[in-house]
Chain A
Amino acid sequence: MIKKKTPAWMALTLGASLSLGFGQATAQEQVVKIGHVGPLTGNIAHLGKDNENGVRLALEEYQAKGLSIGGKKIKFELVAEDDQADPKTGNIVAQRLVDAGVKGVVGHLNSGTSIPASRIYNDAGIPMVSPSSTNPKLTQQGFAYIFRTMTNDIQQGSVLGKYATTKLGKKVSIIDDRTAYGQGLADEVEKGVKASGGTVSAREFTTNQSTDFMAILTKVKMQNPDVVIYTGMDAQGGPMLKQMRALGIGAKFMTGDGGCTLDFIKLAGDAMSDKAFCSQAGLPLDQLADKTFRDRYKKRFGIEVQVYAPYAYDAASAIVEAMKAAGSVEPAKYLPALKKVAFKGAGGDVAFDDKGDVKGGAVTVYQFKGGQWESLK
Chain B
Amino acid sequence: MENLLQQIVNGLVVGSVYALVALGYTMVYGILGLINFAHGDVLMVGALVALQVATLLHKFWPGLHPLLILAISLGVAIPVCMLLGYVMERTAYRRLRNAPRLAPLITAIGVSFLLQTVAMIIWGRNYHSFPPLFPTIPLEPFPGVFITPVQVTILVASATLMVALIMLVNRTPLGRAMRATAENHRVASLMGVDTNKIISTTFILGSGLAAVAGVMHASNYGVAHYSMGFLPGLKAFTAAVLGGIGNLGGAMVGGIVLGLVETIGAGYIEQLSFGLLNSSYQDIFAFVILGIVLIFRPTGLLGERVSDRA
Query: Chain A contacts of B266 at CB under 8 A?
Result: 215-216, 219
Docked complex: A200-214 residues within 8 A CB-CB of B = 203-207, 209, 211-212, 214
Docked complex: A351-370 residues within 8 A CB-CB of B = none
Query: Which one, B13, B222, B228, B231, contacts A269 given CB within 8 A?
Result: B222
A263 CA / B128 CA spacing, docked (Å):
8
Docked complex: B268-309 residues within 8 A CB-CB of A = 278-280, 282-283
Docked complex: A106-136 residues within 8 A CB-CB of B = none
**Is A288 engaged at the interface, CB distance under 8 Å to the other chain?**
no
A234 CA / B128 CA spacing, docked (Å):
11
**B222 contacts A215, C-beta separation under 8 Å:** no
Closest chain A CB from B47 CB (angstroms): 11
**Interface band, chain A:** 20 to 34
Closest chain A CB from B284 CB (angstroms): 12
Query: Chain A contacts of B129 at CB under 8 A?
Result: 238, 266-267, 269
A25 CA / B134 CA spacing, docked (Å):
67
Closest chain B CB from A77 CB (angstroms): 31
A205 CA / B228 CA spacing, docked (Å):
19
Query: Chain A contacts of B267 at CB under 8 A?
Result: 215-216, 218-219
A216 CA / B268 CA spacing, docked (Å):
10
**B263 contacts A215, C-beta separation under 8 Å:** yes
Query: Which one, B125, B132, B278, contacts A42 given CB within 8 A?
Result: B125
**Is A270 engaged at the interface, CB distance under 8 Å to the other chain?**
yes
**Is A324 engaged at the interface, CB distance under 8 Å to the other chain?**
no
Query: Which one, A43, A205, A247, contacts B6 given CB within 8 A?
Result: A247
**B146 contacts A247, C-beta separation under 8 Å:** yes
**Is A178 engaged at the interface, CB distance under 8 Å to the other chain?**
yes
**B279 contacts A216, C-beta separation under 8 Å:** yes
Q: Hey, what's the 0/1 contact readout for A233-257 against B, CB within 8 Å counting as 1?
A: 0110011001101111000000000
A343 CA / B151 CA spacing, docked (Å):
57
**Is A137 engaged at the interface, CB distance under 8 Å to the other chain?**
no
Q: Hey, what's the 0/1 contact readout for A192-205 against B, CB within 8 Å counting as 1?
A: 00000000000111
Query: Which one, A222, A234, A235, A238, contacts B3 given CB within 8 A?
Result: A222
A266 CA / B264 CA spacing, docked (Å):
30
In the complex, which of the residues B7, B127, B148 has the most CB atoms of chain A within 10 Å of its own CB atom? B127
Q: Hey, what's the 0/1 contact readout for B127-149 against A, CB within 8 Å counting as 1?
A: 10100100010101000101010
**B138 contacts A43, C-beta separation under 8 Å:** no
**Is B89 engaged at the interface, CB distance under 8 Å to the other chain?**
no
A239 CA / B279 CA spacing, docked (Å):
18
Query: Chain A contacts of B10 at CB under 8 A?
Result: 212, 214-215, 218
**A205 contacts B280, C-beta separation under 8 Å:** yes
A247 CA / B146 CA spacing, docked (Å):
6
Q: Given known contacts A212-B14, A215-B263, is B132 in contact with A269 (CB within 8 Å)?
A: yes
Nearest CB in chain A to that of B13: its residue: A214
Docked complex: B10-39 residues within 8 A CB-CB of A = 10-11, 13-14
Nearest CB in chain B to that of A209: its residue: B231
Q: Given known contacts A214-B10, A215-B262, A219-B279, is B138 in contact with A247 (CB within 8 Å)?
A: yes
**Is B83 engaged at the interface, CB distance under 8 Å to the other chain?**
no
Closest chain B CB from A201 CB (angstroms): 14
Nearest CB in chain A to that of B218: its residue: A211
**Is A221 engaged at the interface, CB distance under 8 Å to the other chain?**
yes
**B3 contacts A203, C-beta separation under 8 Å:** no
Closest chain B CB from A189 CB (angstroms): 16
Q: Given known contacts A218-B3, A218-B267, is B278 in contact with A203 (CB within 8 Å)?
A: yes
A329 CA / B13 CA spacing, docked (Å):
63
A180 CA / B280 CA spacing, docked (Å):
14
**A246 contacts B138, C-beta separation under 8 Å:** yes
Query: Chain B contacts of A221 at CB under 8 A?
Result: 3, 6
Nearest CB in chain A to that of B138: its residue: A246
Docked complex: B240-266 residues within 8 A CB-CB of A = 262-264, 266
**A248 contacts B140, C-beta separation under 8 Å:** yes
Nearest CB in chain A to that of B4: its residue: A218
Query: Chain A contacts of B228 at CB under 8 A?
Result: 211
Query: Chain A contacts of B3 at CB under 8 A?
Result: 218-219, 221-222
**B221 contacts A211, C-beta separation under 8 Å:** yes
**Is B126 engaged at the interface, CB distance under 8 Å to the other chain?**
yes
Q: Hey, what's the 0/1 contact readout for B199-214 against A, CB within 8 Å counting as 1?
A: 0000000000000000
Query: Chain A contacts of B279 at CB under 8 A?
Result: 204-206, 215-216, 219
**A212 contacts B221, C-beta separation under 8 Å:** yes
Closest chain B CB from A262 CB (angstroms): 11
**B14 contacts A267, C-beta separation under 8 Å:** no
Query: Chain B contacts of A238 at CB under 8 A?
Result: 127, 129, 222-223
Known: A203-B278, A215-B267. 16 other contacts (CB 8 A): A43-B126, A204-B278, A205-B278, A205-B279, A206-B279, A212-B221, A215-B11, A215-B263, A235-B127, A239-B222, A239-B223, A267-B127, A267-B222, A267-B223, A269-B132, A270-B132
Query: What are the 4 A-B residue pairs with the smallest beta carbon separation, nearest first?
Result: A205-B280, A43-B125, A215-B266, A214-B10
Interface residues, chain A, with chain B CB atoms under 8 Å away: 42-43, 178, 203-207, 209, 211-212, 214-216, 218-219, 221-222, 234-235, 238-239, 242-243, 245-248, 263, 266-267, 269-270
Chosen A-B contacts, 7 in total, with CB atoms closer than 8 Å, are: A178-B280, A203-B278, A215-B264, A218-B3, A219-B279, A239-B222, A245-B138
